[in-house]
Structure 1
Amino acid sequence: MTLLKSQFDQVFERIHEAERANGREGLVKLLAVSKTKPAEMVSEAWQLGQRDFGENYLQEAVDKITRLSELDGLVWHFIGPIQSNKTREIATHFHWVHSVDRLKIAKRLNDQRPDDLPPLNICLQVNISDEESKSGATLSELPELVASISQLSRLQLRGLMAIPAPEEDALKQRVPFKKLADTLESLNREHHLNMDTLSMGMTGDLEAAIAEGATMVRIGTALFGARDYSSRN
């Protein structure tokens, strides 16, 4: 058994155990966060059956997407901050974007999505813990943002994403995740939508996120090991 397979098996066991404990069997998708990791490692994960991969750094991601284009069924998720001058490449190369937090970016992604591709799946990033240093729309901004983005024909508004402030206590971890889940339910009801995605939970809090309704957990270090940022500014 390779190290990567062992690590994937361990993460899947954590996910499945959390699903079982909360009566949510088969409802959570693993998004493998492959940022800073080489294309060869993504290919090895693909051979293990993993299909959804998350990337933060655009040029690095596009290089991997190009190199691995012959692998069947890869689904690429952009999960990093979005600059206006990067939207065309994001709209062209990705299947999902989890980090939309303002209408300007959504409109650019919509306008730049190629006509021969299906609508781009979008999650709105929410600053659920009200941290000044974090990206994301505030809860008060969401209703207007949802109303506007849901009208853009080249985007498919799928749900919400959040990165809560770190918390060691498992019960305290659940508080912001419950708030995000309640917010999604409220927005669906008020805007007559069927958003189905809660992108929440990482290596240190995936159990709490699944307990509160996560449909997609974003796991990197537990799968691929520590990241090397030494070559980055």
Structure 2
Amino acid sequence: MSEVNSEAIATISDRLNKIRTHLPTQVKLVAVSKYTSIEAIRAAYDAGVRDFGESRVQDAKIKQTELADLTDITWHMIGSLQSNKARAAIAQFDWIHSLDRLSLAEQCDRLIPELGKSPKLLLQVKLAEDPHKSGWSEAELLADLPQLAQLKHLNIVGLMTILPLGLDESQSHAVFSHVGELAAKLRSLGWDNIRELSMGMSADYAIAIKAGATMVRIGNQIFSGYQA
């Protein structure tokens, strides 16, 4: 077990306190620990964080093993999920934010009953043009809804998005608001469980909260300087 030094605890705790002053009580903080040391994760845990986000299945497995004594951590898969990692992701994570295409949803639907574990799933949407991001456009998601409705093992609870680079504040707010509007449209179509909106990171989480985010994914503002 890695010993957490007092400086790391104090620094990370102070950063978290500053972030929490801007977080409404209904917004969940997911601390993005993907580039972070075990020591820093323990410091964040000691400061009250229980939700941690990882981008790579294999890296997360190492951390989950080393942190197995912290039994109440909730692990979030926030990175792009390759088909060949779907089985491991379902087994390892409590949440998967990056369900980004119908074929992956169909694969997860087959694996969940086999593995006996059903993580909460978010549909990743891309509502602004960005060749570097994956996800459904609104039209693509609406077209795929009938097929998604046939996948009875999926626990889909909301939407996730990542903004393209270079947007100003008003443009960012518009995209985040569009995600909320899409979630409302899905609920009107009978998808009542679409309640969570995972959107906003270190640079734009305040804008996302104003637009209705229920979960924000913050890494640099917590862990800068404590890379693995």
Relative to the length of structure 1, the TM-score reads: 0.87
What amino acid is aligned across from residue 176 of structure 1 in structure 2?
Answer: V
Matched, 1:88 2:87: yes
What amino acid is aligned across from residue 140 of structure 2 in structure 1?
Answer: E
Matched, 1:5 2:4: no
CA, structure 1 residues 131+76, in 2 after alignment: closer, same or farther (shift >3 Å)? same
* TM-fit CA distance, 1:112: 2.0
**CA deviation profile, 1:157-194 (whole Å, cap 9, x unmatched):** 01111111234643332110010000000011113423
Q: How does 1:63-102 map to 2 (within 5 A)?
A: 63-102=62-101
Q: Is the 8 A contact 1:147 1:191 kept in 2?
A: no
* TM-fit CA distance, 1:198: 0.3
Q: How does 1:26-41 map to 2 (within 5 A)?
A: 26-41=25-40
Between the aligned partners of 2:89 and 2:111, the Cα distance in structure 1 is 9
Matched, 1:54 2:53: yes
Between the aligned partners of 1:75 and 1:171, the Cα distance in structure 2 is 33
Between the aligned partners of 1:68 and 1:114, the Cα distance in structure 2 is 27
RMSD: 2.0
Matched, 1:136 2:113: no
**CA deviation profile, 1:110-162 (whole Å, cap 9, x unmatched):** 22236675522111111121212211111111124344334433321011111
SS of match in other structure, 2:139? coil
Identity of aligned residues (%): 34
What amino acid is aligned across from residue 218 of structure 2 in structure 1?
Answer: I
1:217 maps to 216
* TM-fit CA distance, 1:40: 2.2
Q: Is the 8 A contact 1:150 1:157 kept in 2?
A: no
1:109 maps to 108
Q: Is the 8 A contact 2:91 2:117 kept in 1?
A: no
More divergent stretch after superposition (83-92 vs 112-121): 112-121
Q: Is the 8 A contact 2:53 2:75 kept in 1?
A: yes
CA, structure 1 residues 167+207, in 2 after alignment: closer, same or farther (shift >3 Å)? farther
CA, structure 1 residues 52+146, in 2 after alignment: closer, same or farther (shift >3 Å)? farther
Between the aligned partners of 1:97 and 1:176, the Cα distance in structure 2 is 21
Q: Is the 8 A contact 1:91 1:114 kept in 2?
A: no
SS of match in other structure, 2:158? strand
Between the aligned partners of 2:226 and 2:161, the Cα distance in structure 1 is 21
SS of match in other structure, 1:32? strand
Question: Which stretches in structure 2 are left out of the alignment for 5+ residues?
Answer: 1-8
Aligned residues: 220
Between the aligned partners of 1:94 and 1:146, the Cα distance in structure 2 is 24
Q: Which runs of 4+ in 1 moved over 6 A?
A: none
CA, structure 1 residues 142+57, in 2 after alignment: closer, same or farther (shift >3 Å)? same
Relative to the length of structure 2, the TM-score reads: 0.88
Between the aligned partners of 1:116 and 1:137, the Cα distance in structure 2 is 26
Q: Is the 8 A contact 2:158 2:197 kept in 1?
A: yes
More divergent stretch after superposition (196-205 vs 143-152): 143-152
Between the aligned partners of 2:60 and 2:188, the Cα distance in structure 1 is 36
SS of match in other structure, 1:141? helix
